[in-house]
Chains A and B, each alone.
Chain A
Amino acid sequence: MGKILRRTFLIGSAAVGGGVAIGYWQVTKPYPNPLKSRLKDGETALTPYVIVAKDGVTIVAPRSEMGQGVRTTLAALVAEELDVDLNAIKVINGPASKAYYNSMLMEEAAGQAATDVSAGAERMRNATKVIAKIMGSQATGGSTAIPDAFERMRSAGAAARIVLTKAAAKSLGVSASELTTENGMVIAADGTSIAYTELAGEAANIKPPSNPPLREKSKWRYLGKSLDRLDMVEKCTGTAEYAIDVRLPDMAYATVRVNCHLGAGVKSYDASKAKARADVKKVVPVKNGLAVVSTNTWNAFQAVQDLEIEWEPAPYPVNDADIVASHRAAFDDKPDSQKRKDGDVEAVLAEGDIIETEYLVPYLAHATMEPMNAVAHLRDGKLDLWVGTQSPTRCLDVAKDLTGLDEDDIDIHTMYLGGGFGRRGEIDFVAQAIEVAKAMEGTPIKLVWSREEDMCHDMYRPLTLARFRGAIRDGKPAAFDMHVAASAAAIDAFERQGMNLNMADPTITQNAWDNPYKIDNYRVTGYRAKKALPVGFWRSVGASQNAFFQECATDELANAANADPLQFRLDMLDHEPSRKVLEAVAEMSGWGGALPEGRARGIAYYLSFGVPVAEVIEIVDTGAGLKVDKAFVAADVGLALDPRNIEAQLQSGVIYGLTAAIQGAITIEDGVVKQKNFNEYDAMRMYQAPSIDVRILENGPHITGVGEPGLPPAAPALANAIFALSGKRIRELPLNNSIAFI
């Protein structure tokens, strides 16, 4: 992270524009190709995304594969232009490098309304790419991988194809314009063909063009079609390698115990009992805790319990009631942001006859299936790190900081991620593995957290309170006033990266302020609650709770207006892609049609990460509890590159969202997270999961990512269905505190 960036951010939200000028020289200058220093004999890196060698073509897909299918789609973007068979090439994650910076990372923070596609707004969006480039963060998250890569990786493929064509022209002694390419070969007019793999040497000396022309959509062979995922066979045969699966000769196994008073340290400890165990090789202090190194993971898990540790107390209120009270108090402070202020909300509300409600959602853990872990090997002035990370460059930074090594002496091996959901953008566990590897120099260290450690040491989805006031006049919505109080997830997350963002936290009212509903008097205000548990990016971030507030409140208004919840929403929308997802989901679900006794539907709509999504949830009262029986999802992705994968992502978002809505809660007792494993923080299971019908629309102006936007509407659609079934309006999550589910 350069000085320029730090200064840029300190200027505040005005910095986006300023960044263009400050960073101009850096923007025009490409990052060096990180593959060049790592090539083996006979390999040529045509671009940072394409390696050609005698034995084959390799595509670098530099975003983390955490389930969203990104490796396949990114490889397809390159393959489409490069003219190679996707199944005949190798795809790797590649090294950690700023060259693979995520250009979309700051767009959400820049504050352009999703529906604003004016020239000014687009200019601002492009300006955020400048900041992102200077940051050089190779991060996966925020549903950004596809919009970031759409032109960039096709260009990389096209540039590589041009280089290979020129190389072939040279070796055949013909003009490049006479040559075509197909299936990994350059073909001459007379039918002579040369495999790309034969051209590696010649191509090494040819400079790739910077703005190669890209193919028309109508010519696409891979894009727009459902592809078999490249990681599928591995993942169905137990052969896909996650960091937790890495095995090295003479490897030792470590685990940690870190203070459950999150952020507090160790007062004192006695390791004698642990050290007396025959299997224990070392006890190593790490940040706010201790690691034990042993002969296998199980022994390490046992040994770490033998440490006697006196902990520092929690630096935050030690129970839920006090934390909620501290959040409620935030409403009395000055707002952190007020990004929407249409008309005069106060004037309408002052007339009386208003709806006034309060909503509350709890902290949530990410609970990835693969607990946090990393493998580190420090020897001979070199560090290798195998890690499932959403941020390889951050791992690189922490590795440099902790070891003092140069970037060239550090290799970050990004493995498959057994779930990310935002958790693996953090580097706490990575730093621990490096600390232990330093203390055990020469020995490869696999450091694995127990599930209990994982669940109690998260950076949680913030506990959030919302106060809503609204008014109906003449059967129409006249005022919509949403106040949201949460601790600052983005500020907190960036602070952990050593960055001090002097700005309003964009997550507190994320996608709430730019909701396209047209109501004359509309206000969205964010309040920053005092930090309690560490908070961070949890799948769909602020949208996950803000959709619940907005869409339940909207339902309450519709009810007050005696209006159909679907029509009530349509009447407020002139954004065509949004109208169309609502109309689609209504048609799919048979909205308005009669249902048998004991069944009901609920609807919700939310536009997050640039994707308008409408969902209908149909529930049934089984007598033994509610069952979420059916879900219907319509989403507008702008342009669908892989429909079957998009369907999977939207279904995934619904189930992740329903799990949280029905039963997800992280609570605090005596300063410690109470839920320690899946017995207390369960996930939706198959028999509880609905059937999920998905329809993908392509009316929006931008290509978008869909890892997140399927999630936000799930909770309010379910809460609204419960209201429709029972007349019971539940304003606190999880819902199973108020009503039984199967």
Chain B
Amino acid sequence: MRASLIKIAAVGAFLISSPNAQEAEAPDEASGLAAWAKIYEIFSDERCASCHVADGRPMWSGEHYGGTYKHPMYVGGSPELLLGHPGLMCTTCHMAENAQKLHGPPGAEVWHLPPAEMAWWGKSSTEICEQVKDPTRNGGRTLAELQSHVAEDPLVAWGWAPGPGRKPAPYSAKETADFLVAWSASGAPCPPAD
């Protein structure tokens, strides 16, 4: 199931031909790190990181939730079943659109979890940075595919339209993709570990 999901995500992936990328000259580590800082700000935001978890159990995090908790119910728990469990699929509660009722379930097309190797909840900027460059831990994507994932995946897009009461992720899908382009063009540098 996991493999097919990755395939779904990869289908339609194409290189974004960004003007920034084309105009970029020699790799510039400083501007690359500045771009990464923004990317990290987005990736580590509760809207994005809450689902990028290792134990299959997403987080409820942020002001809307009154703190940081594991998603209630016995959801996930098995990283192999990214769509949920027989009898309690993610889509049992999470519909194709956000519930309009406050604290109702957020929704998007085929709500599911990213694979466990893509987990970065609680990780440092350096760790996440190294991870997203590593195809074995980023869903098998090239950097270009990563950009299109961010720009086009409906679940990723949800982070900026998370429904009533939830604070959206910073910036936008388009800006995030642009940051990724700029970062890639600068040689995708990662900040040193603390």
Contacts and interface: CB of A to CB of B under 8 A. Distances in A.
A548 to B, nearest CB: 24
Contacts of B86: none
A680 interface: yes
Contact of A682 (B66, B72, B74): B72
Size category of the B interface is under 10
* Residue of B55, B65, B66, B103 with most chain A CB atoms under a 10 A cut-off: B103
A452 to B, nearest CB: 9
A685 B65 CA distance: 19
A699 interface: no
B193 interface: no
Contacts of B74: 685-687
A326 interface: no
Interface in B57-73: 65-66, 72-73
Contacts of B72: 679, 682, 685
Nearest to A663: B72
A500 interface: no
Contact of B66 (A624, A680, A686, A687): A680
Interface string A684-727: 01110000000000000000000000000000000000000000
Contacts of B73: 685
A180 interface: no
A677 interface: yes
Contacts, number: 14
A686 B74 CA distance: 9
A739 to B, nearest CB: 15
A580 B40 CA distance: 63
Nearest to A301: B101
A685 B66 CA distance: 21
Nearest to A682: B72
Nearest to A677: B103
B86 to A, nearest CB: 15
B104 to A, nearest CB: 9
Contacts of B103: 676-677, 679
A682 B73 CA distance: 10
A624 B70 CA distance: 11
Nearest to B55: A624
A587 B66 CA distance: 44
Nearest to A688: B74
Nearest to A624: B55
Nearest to B57: A624
B64 to A, nearest CB: 10
B158 to A, nearest CB: 19
A685 B103 CA distance: 19
Interface string B61-92: 00001100000111000000000000000000
A680 B69 CA distance: 11
Interface in A615-647: 624
Contacts of B55: 624
A674 B73 CA distance: 21
A685 B74 CA distance: 9
Contacts of B66: 674, 680
B73 to A, nearest CB: 6
A686 B73 CA distance: 9
Given A674-B66, A682-B72, A685-B72, 11 more contacts: A624-B55, A676-B103, A677-B103, A679-B65, A679-B72, A679-B103, A680-B66, A685-B73, A685-B74, A686-B74, A687-B74
13 contacts: A624-B55, A674-B66, A676-B103, A677-B103, A679-B65, A679-B72, A679-B103, A680-B66, A685-B72, A685-B73, A685-B74, A686-B74, A687-B74
Interface of B: 55, 65-66, 72-74, 103
- For the complex of A and B, list the 3 residue pairs with the smallest distance between their C-beta atoms, beginning with the closest: A687-B74, A679-B103, A682-B72
